[in-house]
A = this chain, B = another copy of it.
Amino acid sequence: MRIFCTLAFLILALMSIMSIAAAQDTTTLHLMPWPASVETTPHSQPLVIQSSFTVALRDNSDPHLRRAAQIFLDDLRRHTGSTAIDFSIGNDSNTAVLTVGSDHPSKEVQELGEDESYRLEVGAGRADLTAPTTLGVMRGLQTFLQLVEVTPQGFAVPQVIIQDKPRFPWRGLMIDCGRHFMPVDVIKRNLDGMAAVKMNVFHWHLSENQGFRVESKKFPKLQEMGSDGLYYTQDQVRDVIAYARDRGIRVVPEFDMPGHSTSWFVGYPDLASAPGPYSIERKWGVFDPAMDPTRESTYKFLDEFIGEMANLFPDKFFHIGGDEVNGKQWDANPKIQAFMHAHGLKNNADLQAYFNTRVQKIVAKHGKIMEGWDEILRPDLPKSIVIQSWRGQQSLADAARQGYRGLLSSGYYLDLMQPAGQHYEVDPFADGAANLTDEEKQRILGGEACEWAEYVSPENIDSRIWPRTAAIAERLWSPQNITDVNSMYTRLAYISKWLDAYGLTHNTNYAVMLERMTNGANISSLRTLTDVVEPVKGYAREGLASTEPTSLTPLNRVVDAARPESIKAREFGELVDQLISGQIKPGLEAQIRSTLMNWRDNNVQLRPLGQRSVLVQEVLPLSQNLSALAAAGLEALDYLDRGEKAPREWETQQLQLAQQAIQPKAQLLLMVAAPVQKLIQASAGDKPTDLPLPKNASD
């Protein structure tokens, strides 16, 4: 019997019923993003991956296809722990286990909108993957990899027929390498992660007030004076682009202008709107320095610079940033004011529009399509440009109605420390964009997850990007009706571990960072606490800092190691919800009780570590609160057990404790305060209510 899971999913969505039989079928397949159509054959024999595994290519002439197969075999080795030389690319479709073919090669320089669909059929002992283009083959190979699981027979792939294609043609991840430089190996392992979840655009944010990160041969003082020596050579850039191309990922560079550009002015102060000298910015925020849009020398410089970079980066799109110009240097410069007056530019927005129009012509002259943040949108720019929106669907819809293409990043900012489920619910076609015509919707190309880098180092950046980005990747790839958050979280937990094989450090560096804080002492009590805290949300961290954070601030604290989303706290919250909703589940109360006892007793273990380490010291108040909350939760359980209503006075006292425990400390939030509050309320016979995050912790 074949089950059509897409149909099952649709019905489930319509009926608003959470995961039962069919959804279980889907979660036993650890696929993410979930394909457009999946047919499984239950109780059939899986295809076992032997060490004689070979891939046959239908067409040997496409070098990208061959390369894709090689990378697939490397990945298969990494995922199964095979040694280096087992699997091979054969020529004989009759003997090969997996036969792979595409109707057409992918473009030499990968383009927006190339067909990425594929069809994968895994049968008894054989599998077949076909696609219109080699890009589709790459996507299908990733699906095959995700199907591999250990079984009693060894590593194997279940029998399945998958037909798949992306919902949006632009599914990106932006990494800000300006604020904190990320070495090439960080970039490459993240490209592996992107390919694994079928993302296809790496947006490389390469210049910021805090650093200029690319070697320019024409203007070498950009990197020599603007980067602290931390920049990518042109060879490294080419290497990264080739690595991405091999994985079906376009690389779009961003050079932010006319603002966010202090680092340019260290070497080239004449570009700025006020006299120098300038030095690399160490603080975070929006700063005054901006390019001078009124001098021809600025455009001459940009023409040469963009020409050089247009040559280095083969992608058709070129991102000029364009965000957050405060205009103060322009206001203060009489020559600029005179220019504005002479040219009828009424305000700074007009002046920036003038600048953008000039820059767009330069970008176009070098064969590229200009992209920028919301601010660049002005009717005088040609319809070819692309808007990346940090403002949201309404902004995107407005642009689409005017004929502009755009992509959504609002709702996908990873640095805001939101849970995966929250990102997952953000749809480019929702809210302000819901009422667009089909033609207008076509102009919404997709979206990009963004990792801004105030608070990340090469050590912890992966933990900010992964696994949450996989949820965004699913939103942008899978059909719009794939929205079951529980199913997403189940698969996300699997994919998170599965990504370890690529050397991503989001899981492995967690213990490494905690061990540093304890000087090699047993970290288990620190880990127990850190498992249930999260960094404060939004831009709250800055407001809670005792001294102003800069690019020199060490990122070695518990807040830097703690995950953006506490899985332990989320799971505990679910258990509590089940309990107080009266669900009968064997062992449920015992599980909650043992968890609470563990937390209650944890502070005694952790306290001595705090006396030896400044990094542990600052989380002792949280540890104290965790123990107190757990004790309150245990008392609440006791009341519930005895069928006795907790006294009002006790309840009031414990709710105050929860209120106090949800306050940020050491820039961290104790995420179990909310579920414990529910236990307390339930034990007093009250309706459980949510415990909202305080405003200073979520802004």
Residues of chain A having any CB pair with chain B under 8 Å = 30, 51, 78-86, 149-154, 180-181, 185, 228, 230, 457-459, 493-494, 497-498, 500-501, 505, 507-509, 511-513, 515-520, 551-556, 560, 611-615, 617
Do B520 and A493 have beta carbons less than 8 Å apart? Answer: yes
- Tell me, in angstroms, the Cα distance from A515 to B493 when the chains sit together: 12
CB atoms of B516 and A494 under 8 A apart:
no
* Stoichiometry, copies per complex: 2
Known: A150-B517, A512-B501, A515-B497. A556 touches B80 (CB 8 A): yes
Known contacts being A150-B613, A498-B520, A614-B153, is A85 close to B513, with CB within 8 Å?
no
Q: In whole Å, how far is A555's beta carbon from the nearest beta carbon of chain B? A: 6
Partner of A83 from B30, B515, B555, B611 at Cβ < 8 Å: B555
A500 & B515 in contact (Cβ 8 Å cutoff): yes
State in angstroms the CA–CA spacing of A181 and B84 once bound together: 8
State whether B81 touches A556 (Cβ < 8 A). yes
Bound-complex Cα distance A497 to B522 (A): 11
- What chain B residues lie within 8 Å of A498 (beta carbons)? 520
Q: Is the CB of B51 within 8 A of A554?
A: yes
Is B520 a contact of A554 with CB atoms below 8 Å?
A: no
Instruction: Using CB atoms, name the residue of chain B closest to A179.
Output: B83
Contact between chains at B614 and A555 (CB < 8 Å): no
Beyond A508-B512, A512-B501, A617-B152, whether A84 also contacts B519 by CB under 8 A is no
A150, A497, A515, A555 — which one has the most chain B CB atoms within 10 A of its CB? Answer: A150
The smallest C-beta distance from A573 to any residue of chain B, in angstroms, reads 19
Contact in complex: B151, A86 (CB < 8 Å)? no
Q: Which residues of chain B are near A494, meaning CB under 8 Å?
A: 519-520
- Contact across chains for B80 and A554 when beta carbons are under 8 A apart: yes
What CA separation (Å) do A296 and B156 show in the bound complex? 53
Complex Cα gap A556–B83 (Å): 9
Beyond A85-B552, A228-B84, is A519–B611 a contact (Cβ under 8 Å)?
no
The chain B residue sitting closest to A456, CB to CB, is: B83
Q: How far is the CA of A630 from the CA of B432 in the complex (A)?
A: 64
Q: Is the CB of A154 within 8 A of B228?
A: no
Shortest Cβ distance from residue A379 to the other chain B in the assembled complex, whole angstroms: 42
Q: How far is the CA of A612 from the CA of B150 in the complex (A)?
A: 7
Per the bound structure, the CA–CA distance linking A551 and B84 in Å amounts to 8
Bound CA span A508–B509, Å: 8
Q: A79, A85, A497, A553 — which one has the most chain B CB atoms within 10 A of its CB?
A: A85
Residues of B close to A154: CB separation below 8 A? 614
A562 CB to nearest chain B CB (Å): 14
Contact residues in B for A501 (Cβ distance below 8 Å):
512, 516
Residues of chain B within 8 A of A509, CB atoms compared:
508
A51 to B513, CA, bound (A): 19
Given contacts A83-B180, A505-B508, 20 further A-B contacts (CB under 8 A): A30-B520, A51-B554, A80-B554, A80-B556, A81-B457, A81-B560, A83-B553, A83-B555, A84-B180, A84-B181, A84-B228, A86-B552, A149-B519, A150-B615, A153-B614, A154-B614, A494-B519, A500-B515, A507-B511, A508-B509
Is A152's CB under 8 angstroms from B81's CB? no
Expressed in whole angstroms, the Cα–Cα distance for A630 and B414 within the complex equals 47
Nearest Cβ on chain B to A548's Cβ, whole angstroms:
13
Task: Give chain B residues whose Cβ lies under 8 Å from the Cβ of A516.
Answer: 79-81, 150, 501
Closest Cβ neighbor of A495 among chain B residues: B520
Given contacts A152-B617, A154-B614, A554-B51, contact A459 B81 (CB under 8 A): yes
**Closest chain B CB from A228 CB (angstroms):** 5
A512 to B30, CA, bound (A): 17
Chain B residue with the shortest CB-CB distance to A508? B508
Cα separation A567 to B617 with both chains bound (whole Å): 29
Q: How far is the CA of A150 from the CA of B84 in the complex (A)?
A: 40
A83-B51 contact given A612-B151, A613-B152, CB 8 Å threshold = no
- A–B pairs, 30, beta carbons within 8 Å: A51-B554, A80-B554, A81-B459, A81-B516, A81-B555, A83-B457, A83-B551, A83-B552, A83-B553, A83-B555, A84-B230, A84-B457, A84-B458, A85-B228, A86-B552, A86-B554, A149-B519, A150-B517, A150-B519, A150-B614, A150-B615, A151-B614, A152-B614, A494-B519, A494-B520, A497-B520, A501-B512, A505-B508, A508-B508, A508-B511
How far is A290 from B234 in the complex, measured between Cα atoms in Å?
Answer: 46
**CB of A294 to closest CB in B, whole Å:** 34
Q: Please tell me if the beta carbons of B230 and A85 are within 8 angstroms of each other in the complex.
A: yes
Residues of chain B within 8 A of A552, CB atoms compared = 51, 83, 85-86
A295 CB, nearest partner CB in chain B, Å: 31
- Measured CB to CB, the nearest residue on chain B to A86 is B552
For residue A493, which residues in chain B have a CB less than 8 angstroms away from its CB? 520
Closest to A228 in B: B85
Please give me the 3 A-B residue pairs with the lowest Cβ-Cβ distance, nearest first: A81-B556, A508-B508, A494-B520
> Nearest-CB distance from A2 to chain B (Å)?
24
Bound-complex Cα distance A228 to B86 (A):
10
Chain B contacts for A78, CB-based, 8 A: 459
